[in-house]
Amino acid sequence: MQRTLIGELGNHIGETVSISGWVDVRRDQGKMVFFDFRDRSEIVQGVVLPASGAMEIAKEIRNEFVVRVEGTVNKRPEKNAQSNRQNGDIELEIKTIEILNPSDAMPFDISGDTSGIDESVRAEYRYLDLRSKRMQKNMRTRGEFIRRCREYLFTKDFIEIETPLLTESTPEGSRDFVVPSRLNPGKFYALPQSPQQYKQLLMIAGFEKYFQIARAIRDEDLRADRGFEHTQVDIEMSFVTMEDVMAAVEDMMTAVVEAMGYAIKQKPFPRISYKDAMEKYGNDKFDLRTPEEKEKGILAYAWVVNFPFFEKTDSGDWTFTHNPFSMPIPEHLDWLMKGERIGEILTTQYDLVCNGSESGGGSIRANKPEILEAVYRVMGFSKEELKERIGHMLKAFRYGAPPHGGIALGVERNIMNLTGETMLREVQAFPMTRGGQTAVMKAPKPLSQKQLNELHLSINADDVSEN
User: Which amino acid makes up residue 304?
Assistant: V
Query: Under the criterion CB under 6 A, does residue 192 sit at the interface with ligand ASP?
Result: no
Instruction: Please report how close the Cβ of residue 195 comes to ligand ASP at its closest, in angstroms.
Output: 7
Which residue stretch of 22-30, 221-229, 268-276, 355-363 sits at the interface with ligand ASP (rule: CB under 6 A)? 355-363
Which of 4, 87, 194, 367 lies at the binding interface for ligand ASP (CB under 6 A)? 194
Which of 87, 231, 363, 414 lies at the binding interface for ligand ASP (CB under 6 A)? 363
Query: Under the criterion CB under 6 A, does residue 359 sit at the interface with ligand ASP?
Result: no
Query: Under the criterion CB under 6 A, does residue 408 sit at the interface with ligand ASP?
Result: yes
Closest to ligand ASP by CB, 71 vs 362, is 362
Contact 46, 81 (CB under 8 A): no
Which residue stretch of 184-192, 360-368, 420-428, 457-465 sits at the interface with ligand ASP (rule: CB under 6 A)? 360-368
Which residue stretch of 26-34, 359-367, 384-392, 424-432 sits at the interface with ligand ASP (rule: CB under 6 A)? 359-367
Closest to ligand ASP by CB, 109 vs 168, is 168
HEC per residue, the chain: CCECCHHHHHHHCCCEEEEEEEEEEEEECCCCEEEEEECCCCEEEEEECCCCCCHHHHHHCCCCCEEEEEEEEEECCHHHCCCCCCCCCEEEEEEEEEEEECCCCCCCCCCCCCCCCCHHHHHHCHHHHCCCHHHHHHHHHHHHHHHHHHHHHHHCCCEECCCCCCECCCCCCCECCEEECCCCCCCEEECCCCCHHHHHHHHHCCCCEEEEEEEEECECCCECCECCEEEEEEEEEECCCHHHHHHHHHHHHHHHHHHCCCCECCCCCCEEEHHHHHHHHCCCCCCCCCHHHHHHCCECEEEEECCECEEECCCCCEEECCCCCECECHHHHHHHHHCCCHHHCEECCEEEEECCEEEEEEEEECCCHHHHHHHHHHCCCCHHHHHHHHHHHHHHCCCCCCCEEEEEEEHHHHHHHHHCCCCHHHHCCCCCCCCCCCCCCCCCCCCCHHHHHHCCCCCCHHHCCCC
Closest to ligand ASP by CB, 65 vs 152, is 152
Closest to ligand ASP by CB, 21 vs 361, is 361
- Closest Cα to residue 201, out of 191, 212, 190? 212
How many positions of this chain bind ligand ASP (CB under 6 A)? Answer: 12
Query: Under the criterion CB under 6 A, does residue 196 sit at the interface with ligand ASP?
Result: yes
Which residue stretch of 112-120, 243-251, 340-348, 404-412 sits at the interface with ligand ASP (rule: CB under 6 A)? 404-412
Which residue stretch of 7-15, 127-135, 374-382, 405-413 sits at the interface with ligand ASP (rule: CB under 6 A)? 405-413
Contact mark string toward ligand ASP, 230..259, x via CB under 6 A:
--x---------------------------
Instruction: Please report how close the Cβ of residue 216 comes to ligand ASP at its closest, in angstroms.
Output: 6
Which of 362, 366, 371, 414 lies at the binding interface for ligand ASP (CB under 6 A)? 362
Which of 406, 419, 421, 424 lies at the binding interface for ligand ASP (CB under 6 A)? 406
Query: Under the criterion CB under 6 A, does residue 328 sit at the interface with ligand ASP?
Result: no
Phi, psi angles (nearest 5°) of residue 332: -110, 5
Instruction: Please report how close the Cβ of residue 269 comes to ligand ASP at its closest, in angstroms.
Output: 18
Which 208-227 positions form the footprint of ligand ASP (CB under 6 A)? 216
Closest to ligand ASP by CB, 216 vs 253, is 216
Query: Under the criterion CB under 6 A, does residue 176 sit at the interface with ligand ASP?
Result: no
Phi, psi angles (nearest 5°) of residue 48: -100, 115
Closest to ligand ASP by CB, 36 vs 234, is 234
Query: Under the criterion CB under 6 A, does residue 132 sit at the interface with ligand ASP?
Result: no
Q: Which residues contact 92 (CB under 8 A, 6 or more apart)?
A: 9, 17, 19, 37, 44, 45, 46, 47, 69, 71, 72, 73, 74
Which residue stretch of 350-358, 377-385, 401-409, 452-460 sits at the interface with ligand ASP (rule: CB under 6 A)? 401-409
- Closest Cα to residue 203, out of 408, 410, 411, 399? 399
Closest to ligand ASP by CB, 114 vs 196, is 196
Query: Under the criterion CB under 6 A, does residue 414 sit at the interface with ligand ASP?
Result: no
Query: Under the criterion CB under 6 A, does residue 361 sit at the interface with ligand ASP?
Result: yes
Alpha-carbon gap, residue 299 to 419, rounded angstroms: 11
Query: Under the criterion CB under 6 A, does residue 323 sit at the interface with ligand ASP?
Result: yes
Which residue stretch of 10-18, 60-68, 406-414, 424-432 sits at the interface with ligand ASP (rule: CB under 6 A)? 406-414
Closest to ligand ASP by CB, 123 vs 364, is 364
Residues that bind ligand ASP (CB under 6 A): 172, 194, 196, 216, 232, 323, 361-363, 406-408
